[in-house]
Structure 1
């Protein structure tokens, strides 16, 4: 399985980048995770021609080639960073690679809430008509006090948070597998009325 992880900030130092790097190593036997940065993307300026700048096109191509996308977002003023919103606006205005693409949202913050409000806002954004991402429902991963969350090797210190991430990632892998079975005219939300979430996580044939 091929996944893309998007670092949701243009900051040089970021525990959200650390979280994706940990996931890249930790889940290497389950999926290849390519980490993509948004630091080189220009600010969205709504050009008259709906053509993606080169850096945006590179990100779009990576998303298109992936089976699923993981967004790792900080929380700034109860929302996602402006740089991440700008990147998403470029994608929705030009190439739209997130349409029907399975998405998982994670977030790390030095506060105790672990980007809960930013993740809720990002979920709303990604479900907009111009984006139509298939955001995995009922699962979120919130890493609080993130400056103390990693050891010198970049591994998560807290065993409970490791286990929680393992569960969330396994459910995302199942979610990606499910969406691959949908026809082009179907969506996960249309088909989800016909079965329970436990069927997905238990690996039943759908």
Structure 2
């Protein structure tokens, strides 16, 4: 069986985010189950609608990695009850240009300094990822929230909250199964995936999208 290949997206341009720490912990902790490459969005340009829907080189590089991955993990903080502007901008680039997240399995996690985690931001991200231009396959019934994240990791990057380690292990096991089942389901529907990638609101308004 080939090793599962996943992309972890740090959902912020902050250089000190505990969401980056969380992804690095996930990468290390599950290294025997999956190959996880962590990708940054902090160097992507702010979204500016391009002519002919052509992605800048940095966006295209990220898109190609997402396209080749079996699944994606996005770790998002919560800013004013929503995802950061940098993450929204990155998703806008992907939705407007290459659309690599269509039918791609996505697991959402999040860390925050407070005790409540990033629940509102995760709900916001789910709503965005369900848009026709993104249409990711979002893992249902799972919300991994890491609160009090400033005290959550020791000097070696290990997660010190035992209950959260157990919870994350259960979530990751479910995600692996979700990725496998989703990829089996969509394997024979590549043509429909390409149709979704060619979606335009003009087609939808004019009745040109197949339902």
TM-score normalised according to structure 1 size: 0.89
Poorly superposed stretches of 4+, deviation over 2 Å: none
CA RMSD of aligned residues (A): 1.1
Cα distance in 2 for residues equivalent to 1:127 and 1:167: 24
1:4 to 4, 7, 17: 7
Is 1:82 the counterpart of 2:95? The answer is no
2:172 to 162, 169, 172: 169
Is 1:57 the counterpart of 2:63? The answer is no
**Unpaired runs of 5+ in structure 2?**
194-211
In structure 1, the partner of 2:137 is 134
Is 1:117 the counterpart of 2:117? The answer is no
1:67 to 67, 70, 74: 70
In structure 2, the partner of 1:22 is 25
Cα distance in 1 for residues equivalent to 2:184 and 2:35: 20
Cα distance in 2 for residues equivalent to 1:127 and 1:111: 27
What secondary structure does 2:25 align onto?
Answer: helix
CA deviation string 1:23-79 (max 9, x = no partner): 000000000000000011000011122000000001001100100000000000000
Cα distance in 2 for residues equivalent to 1:32 and 1:181: 19
Shift of 1:20: 0.3
In structure 1, the partner of 2:189 is 184
Give the number of aligned pairs: 187
1:98 to 101, 111, 114: 101
In structure 1, the partner of 2:205 is none
Cα distance in 2 for residues equivalent to 1:137 and 1:172: 10
What secondary structure does 2:53 align onto?
Answer: coil
Cα distance in 2 for residues equivalent to 1:74 and 1:97: 23
Map 1:140-151 to 2 at 5 A. Answer: 140-151=143-154
Cα distance in 1 for residues equivalent to 2:73 and 2:179: 11
TM-score normalised according to structure 2 size: 0.87
In structure 2, the partner of 1:200 is none
